[in-house]
Structure 1
Amino acid sequence: MDPKLCRAVTEAFVRLHEEGLIYRSNRLVNWSCTLKSAISDIEVDKVELPGRTLLSVPGYDHKVEFGVLVLFAYKVEGSGEELVVATTRVETMLGDTAVAVHPEDPRYKHLHGKLVTHPFCDRKLPILADNFVEREFGTGAVKITPAHDQNDYDVGKRHNLPFITIFNEEGNVIGDCTQFVGMKRFQARRAVIDALKEKGLYRETKDNPMVVPICSRSKDVVEPLIKPQCTVMLTVITLVACFFPHRYLSCDVMAKNALDSVRSGELKLIPEHFNKTWYHWMENSRYVT
């Protein structure tokens, strides 16, 4: 690239780093197992399903079932009780590190702080009380897989849970549930259900309207993965990402300043119809953008 531009990128990076605005961190990203790459939110198509639907997924000879809710039981340690959870992605139970219930749900108050046992590995999962749980959804008890779901990621951070990655970049199972290691993620979906049935823990599968995230380029089902990922804002910072990968940029203050500059007329976007996109990006920036 042009030497002057390279120097400008380096200067911008150093200044942002010295101000504590750019940093390296592991975050949950949209991952395409086909592309073997993280993709941005705008490259994810949200496909709405009315219920049970078979979808074609790259790399699979058969269609994969979506739009269902699978119910299965975790055994409560030290008692004859069980806690039935509901999930749309049963294969991710291989990475569960907790089960959550609503703190005011009378059905489960006596279980707060107790443990359930994982059926496929040597792992104890705490039963947490968290307000994010919807009491009316499923059984009112949800499995928590912090390394593979955004809501679960947030719960994991709040409760200091372990983050266990169970899929590699190709979408194959890894980890300590050894009987499933090496399977493709949607092969594991079927295998986990069969294994739950063998242990008497499977309860039922029922229709469930849902949204499936699809990569707009590969048409693969997006898999949330924790990665050191560079996400950036503004043209010069985009160039920083090219030279200094695996960095994060704190953008809350920068996003506000960028919005105020356009609204006040200090900064003009040409053509003006780009203003709508600008506002969308800046107003919807998260802790990083």
Structure 2
Amino acid sequence: MYKLNFLFLLFASLFINSCGNGQAENETEETTEEISEEATENVVEGESNSNVMNPRTFGGEKNENQNFIDNMLPAADKANSDMLGCYVGDFGKNMINITLYKAENGKAEGYSVCAGNFRKIKGTYEKAPDGHYEFLMEEPGDDKYDGTFDFTLNTADNLITGSWIPFKKEGNSSKNYSLKKRKYKYDPTVGKYPQASQRELTDEDVNNLLEEELAEMRNEIYARHGYSFKNKDWRYHFEDKDWYMPMGVDIRDKLTDVEAINIELIYEYESYFEEYYDDYGR
């Protein structure tokens, strides 16, 4: 195994807090497309003399929006209600997850996860004559990309259909959507490189992979945990997989011991590949 002391570039991630902005295609890309924001943040200097990443602890405190998701998701998952849960599907060019965690006495609360963005939503609902439920829910309104979700919930088919209308028309476009109720379950067997979540990788597993293959293997680990990518290329790549479901914006503490170790190894080879491309691998 190559023992490497390497420097990681720090680059700024563009955090656009509205799902509406992510919903509006989120065309801004990071300077290094192969590195997800989540993985980039997860590099720390270890206690030894060598530089070591710790994917689960670097980057400061856990994202407060993810704390909110982790607190509210169990209510949506376990509640004895046909209305509550996660509804997932296409939203423009992106995939959105609208999670309803409270619906009582005509008032509803939830949140959306889309294109690496998180937004709370709150509003009202009423039962229609056909037995369906009509919801009108709004984002907070403190972001220029916020808007209103107007949808019908068919509990028999576990389906939400409706529209999203931006509060501010400039730079935004309305969207229609049809979202199916889904239940997320972490599955280490899915993907092109499931071994990265199942066992500790060896040098032989990665030393002949191309740089883009290494990046896919590493980002796939985050995707299995439902990480919602801001990076457009990786977002489109994983949203095309039937097993993928955007669940959160900071999944660092959900990585297993095996996955954390493997991310460190993959990063070493990615860094080595960049530095010694002409002599490396194939």
TM-score normalised by length of structure 2: 0.23
Q: Which structure has the bigger radius of gyration?
A: 1
Q: RCO (CA 8 Å, sep 6+): is it higher in 1 or 2? A: 1
